[in-house]
Amino acid sequence: MQKVVRFLLVLALVLPTAVLASSEGHNDHDVDHDTKDLTPEEEAERKAEREKNHRKHYVIHHTQDSHDFGLFTNETEGKHYGFPLPVILWDDGIHFFMSSKFGHGHKTASSNGKYFKLDYNNGKVYQADAEGHFLKKKVWDKELKEFVSERVEVLDFSITKNVLVTMLMVVLMFFLFRSIARSYKNGLAPTGAAKFFEPIIIYVRDEIARPNIGEKHYKKYMVYLLTVFFFIWFLNLSGMTPLGINVTGNIAFTAALALMTYLITTFTGKKDYWMHIFWMPGVPWPMKIVLAPIELLGTIIKPFALMIRLYANMLAGHIVLGMLILAAYGFSNYFASGAFIGLTFFMNIIELLVALLQAYIFTMLTALYFGAAAEEHDHEHAAAH
Amino acid sequence: MGLLEEFSIGLFFWQSVLFLALLFLLRKFAWKPILDSVNEREQKISDSLELAEKTKEEMESLKASNENLLKEARAERDAMIKDAKETASRMVAEAKDKAKEEGNKMLASAKDSINAEKAAAISELKTQVAAFSIEIAEKVVRGELSSADKQKALADKLVEDINMN
């Protein structure tokens, strides 16, 4: 059993990363498209290349946040089905309108005398003029060593798809866990949903918090650990629905959580924690001086790794699934399509595991950092370091 | 698709706000009551187990003391039975002795009274016989001496007797 879990773990960690790396590699291909003087072979190759790029962007686009809740798209007619979401922008005052004004990047939205345009490819809102041209500003490019013109991005506090899903998840989790809490009033034995969630809550307490933080201090971190665990898990699972949700695979989401972990670790750090950073006990003094900046950097690298790990794993999982689903359509051979559908099913099951696994890893490592912050060494123990 | 390019400050803001809201909501309405209930139950379970262990020990000691008590009771019973048997046999023996003694006594007194009665009867008989003898003798003497002839014959006879001596 352990072997299987370890195998899946390695697979789940390695496979998406490899795919992510390979998908990054394709970026170089979609530059210059001069279409003159082409042999039919070259033209066919170009066409295949374009098709490939289109698919890649299609998949990448579905992993990104968006200003409207798209359910499906009719590509031949270029129609999008779904519903618009509120857009909140800050540009010398607040601008509020529905995302249908953007027309999926084809229209220019006007609000309070200002014009905004959505770049449908990266999902960002830029300033525009009344004719629908992006406004440009000159910025210094360090690599080219010259001024280049760049579009002006607007501070965007829109209720995007990710924000909406997160809001719904917050509401869902609030009602779910409140009802579980209430079910204990009828008696101490768990009933209903509590039967399922209580062992998980106890697992977080007994297998994550207690051994990593210690019996003395674990209680004050329980609220954060439980919230973070279920929040990540539920949002990961929401990404398994066919709605194309990808909250946990968004860097802003993981950054928010990692920052929270960093702040809690830093502000609950005891004397011994800072002692281990700035003046490592048990090593000769020149080493202490060398270690201090490394350890200090480590306090930032740790939450940074948390942020990247969750982001990369979830994003990569979505890209892999998207690519596999597209690949099933890419074959005219039924056998090959069937095989890819089977593979997609297999990946889905792995992703289901990864959804839980990543929530566990994030919580586990967070508990580990809290443990280091809360730890109080006795002298003998400190000397052994 | 660089990290910084993808990073959205607005999304970061909303995620932080929503997460903090969830954190505070769940702390108040979910985790605290749930963890409290779970702790309470665990405390109850460990208390109950402890109590069960204690009860078991108590039962064992009770059982041991019961056994001791039983053993003592049995010994006492045996002793009592033995005692009772002894007493009974002693009583029987005593009764036997007493009865014998009484019988002997009765026999002796019966013998005595028989002897006494006999003696009394004999003495009475003797008296009676003497009285009768005297009466008879009187009557005989009276008959003998009722006439002069007879008196003379008697005197003669007496004289003869004396003479012959």
A149 or A365: whose pLDDT is higher? Answer: A365
Identify the pLDDT of residue A26.
40
Nearest to A260 among B13, B19, B32 (CB): B19
Answer whether A80 touches B (CB < 8 Å): no
Task: Answer whether B41 sits within 8 Å of A181, measured CB to CB.
Answer: no
Strand order in the sheet with A94-98: A94-98, A86-90, A155-156
Cβ atoms of residues A66 and A123 within 8 Å: yes
To the nearest whole Å, the CA of B49 is away from the closest chain A CA by 16
DSSP, residue by residue, A33-51: ---SS--HHHHHHHHHHHH
To the nearest whole Å, the CA of A81 is away from the closest chain B CA by 23
Q: pLDDT, tens digit, for every residue of A87-97?
A: 998 888 888 88
A71 or A173: whose pLDDT is higher? Answer: A173
Task: Tell me which chain B residue has its CA closest to the CA of residue A27.
Answer: B1
Q: pLDDT, tens digit, for every residue of A284-316?
A: 888 888 888 888 898 899 999 999 999 999 999
H or E stretch covering B38: helix B32-144
Identify the pLDDT of residue A111.
82
Give helix A251-267 / helix B9-26 axis angle, nearest 10°. Answer: 50
Task: Answer whether B22 sits within 8 Å of A227, measured CB to CB.
Answer: yes
Nearest to B26 among A24, A122, A174 (CB): A174
Chain centroid to Cα A133, Å, comes to 32
Identify the pLDDT of residue A138.
82
Any idea how long chain B is?
A: 165
Give whole-number Cα distances, A272 to A73, A81, A213, A383, in Å: 57, 57, 14, 12
- Least-confidence region, from A109-113, A182-186, A247-251, B89-93: A109-113
Identify the pLDDT of residue B73.
94
Strand partners, A98: A86
Identify the pLDDT of residue A255.
93
Answer whether A301 touches B (CB < 8 Å): no
- Mutate which: B9, B22, B38, vs A, most A CBs within 10 A: B22
Cβ atoms of residues B15 and A252 within 8 Å: yes
Burial string for A310-329 (b: 16+ CB within 10 Å, else e) reads bbbbbbbbbbbbbbbbbbbe
Identify the pLDDT of residue A20.
45
Cβ atoms of residues A235 and A165 within 8 Å: yes
Task: Tell me which chain A residue has its CA closest to the CA of residue B11.
Answer: A252
Task: Tell me which chain A residue has its CA closest to the CA of residue B15.
Answer: A253
- Compute the distance between CA of residue A224 and CA of residue B20 in angstroms, rounded to an integer: 10
Q: Residue A160 above 80 pLDDT?
A: yes
- Compute the distance between CA of residue A76 and CA of residue A72 in angstroms, rounded to an integer: 12
ipTM for this model: 0.82
Q: pLDDT, tens digit, for every residue of B126-165?
A: 888 889 888 888 888 787 777 888 788 878 888 888 876 6
To the nearest whole Å, the CA of B54 is away from the closest chain A CA by 24
Q: Residue A277 above 60 pLDDT?
A: yes
Answer whether A215 touches B (CB < 8 Å): no
Q: pLDDT, tens digit, for every residue of B60-69?
A: 999 999 999 9
Q: pLDDT, tens digit, for every residue of A9-50?
A: 555 555 544 444 444 434 444 444 455 567 788 888 888 888
Answer whether A94 touches B (CB < 8 Å): no
Task: Taking residues B86-90, report their average pLDDT.
Answer: 93
Phi-psi region at A170: left, alpha or beta (left = phi > 0; alpha = psi -120 to 50): alpha
